[in-house]
Structures are given as structure tokens and as C-alpha cells.
Structure 1
Amino acid sequence: MSFTDKVKNKAEELTGKAKQGVGEATDNERLYAEGQAQETAAHAKQAGEHVKDAGRDVRDAFS
């Protein structure tokens, strides 16, 4: 995973957490749910990148 991808995914995760916090503080269920979805999407992207990295490591180990 490139450094740029890591930064983008982390920024998306933090934005989702911020939306959740604002949604909770203002009792805005829509904003809270949007934040949860955004954070979950960021975690999924990070997991996919980790799988790709692991695959590359395995391939390199057999080279």
C-alpha cells in the first residue's frame, strides 16, 4: 500500500469519526449513520490493501 493510499484512507476514517461525533452531539441520526458508513468503508479499503500487501510478500518470498 502506498503512503498516499494510507493517508487517504486514514483521512476518510477520521472524517467518518468526526461526522459520528457531530451527529451524536447534535442528535442528527443521518449524519451519525453517514459517519459510520464512511468509517466502515475506510476500514474495508485498508483491509483490502493489507491483503494485497500480504500477497506481494508471499510472492516475493517464493521468488
Structure 2
Amino acid sequence: MPKERADQDGDDPLRAPEASRHRKVLKQAGLISTSRRGRYRSHALDIPATATLGADLLAAFLR
């Protein structure tokens, strides 16, 4: 089961404004989807889009 960001451990926690900016960029790139349940939002990584990104990046280096 996914953890909420507030529950995740780490020495260098990502602050809310930074997390928001990262989510915005990932969403604009089509790499995550967001669903809403009441006041909570759930973000999910789009695995096929992420896999394509890796292939596109590799192709760009091989040109």
C-alpha cells in the first residue's frame, strides 16, 4: 500500500512547495496521473509513459 508523503521516512524530507513543483512538472510531462477522493489527492506514476521516456532518451543519445 502506498504511503502518504507525511508518513515517509528520510533524512532530507521534501518540503511541500518543492513537492508541488515536482508534481506539476511530472504532470505536464504526462508521467503521473492524479485522482481526487474528498480532500485527498492520489498521484500515480504512468509506467508506460515512463518506459517510453527511457527509450526516447536513449534514442536521442544514439543519434
Higher helix share: 1
Larger C-alpha radius of gyration, 1 or 2?
1
Fold match by TM threshold 0.5: no
TM range (shorter): 0.3 to 0.5
Higher strand share: 2
The structure with higher relative contact order (CA 8 Å, sep 6+) is 1
* Length-normalised TM-score, structure 2: 0.38
